[in-house]
Amino acid sequence: MPIDTSSYYPEIDKPEEKSDNTSLNGVHKSLFGEKKPEEPVKTEREENLEKEEKPQDKKKKKKESGSLIDLLCNLISWVLVPLLMPTFGVLFIFRLSILDVVPNGLQTAFTFVVFGISCCIPLLLILLLKYLGVVDDYALNGRKERTLPYLISAICLGCTAWFMASRGAPVWVTMFFTGGAIAAVINTLINLKWKISAHAAGISGLIALLIRLEKDMAVEPQLFVWLLITIGVAGLLGSARVWLGRHTVWQVLAGYLVGFCSVFFMMFIR
């Protein structure tokens, strides 16, 4: 016969149902406290759409990135302007060759003279040309307005070579500046029909100087390191000129060739 167990479990009145769902088995309650409402599951397409940027945002980021690169390229171009290459060259000559035995005071004096003749005088004359309306841009980006400044630079480099020779500098030092003057003349002639990179010509002249020092006149062990650094910087400079649209790759390569050969072969004269 069936066993009646109802006497062991007294009846309990059922609580009235409430609208706030406070039951332990309710939607918002559990044995461990409040349940956070579950977020709707996003489809793969919705996630991709969230990751995808708006077209205007992409353009803005691209513009900001381009502006930063432009700024960096312009900075490189101005720091390594061709007018400064003779000054960098004389610093290399005094610090990385047998001429490092020259007293520091005399080294400083020669460096300032080279800087004045090969950089300050051409710069002042270019400013005068700008004031007179002969050139439109200090950076000389137009091919036709480069002819006269290039000739001025060639003359000043020739004067620098004469100064060094008159003060008893070794022939190879004089030939370094003479090679720079020859490179400026060649650039002037080429520029009459085709734009060529003077920046590339200037820094490749420094590379030629360091190679000649490394081969025949090196006494400083760090010269090879400086040669590698200069080659790397030359690559950055050429890339910057192409990025800014000032030159094509061929114009930069032509500048490298003219500057390097002019200095390298002139320095064979002893």
pLDDT-wise least confident of 47-51, 61-65, 102-106: 61-65
Residue 178 has pLDDT above 80, yes or no: yes
Question: Which among 118, 77, 131, 108 is positioned nearest to 239, based on CA atoms?
Answer: 77
pLDDT in tens, 204-227: 999 999 999 988 766 678 899 999
Token pair recorded at residue 104? 């520091």
pLDDT of residue 39: 57
What pLDDT is attached to residue 45? 55
Give 114-132 pLDDT, tens digit per residue. 999 999 999 999 899 888 8
Comparison of pLDDT for 28 and 245, the residue scoring more? 245
Pick from 31-35, 193-197, 249-253: least confident: 31-35
Report pLDDT for 42: 59
Higher pLDDT, 108 or 49: 108
Count of alpha carbons within 13 angstroms of residue 101, beta-carbon side: 3
Q: Quick check: 65 pLDDT over 70? A: no
At 100, the amino acid letter reads D
Q: For residue 30, what are the β-bridge partners?
A: 33
Torsion of CA 45, 46, 51, 53, to 10 degrees: 100
Mean pLDDT in the chain? 82
Contact 206, 223 (CB under 8 A): no
Residue 24, pLDDT > 50, answer no
- CB neighbours of 261 closer than 8 A, spacing ≥ 6? 208
Sign of the dihedral defined by the CA atoms of residues 103, 104, 108, 109, in that order: negative
Measured CA to CA, the distance from residue 261 to residue 267 in angstroms comes to: 10
What is the SS3 assignment for 34?
Answer: strand
Q: What is the pTM of this model?
A: 0.74
> For 226-259, what is each residue's pLDDT tens digit?
999 999 999 999 999 999 999 999 999 999 999 9
Q: Which amino acid is at 256?
A: Y
Res. 92: pLDDT tops 80: yes
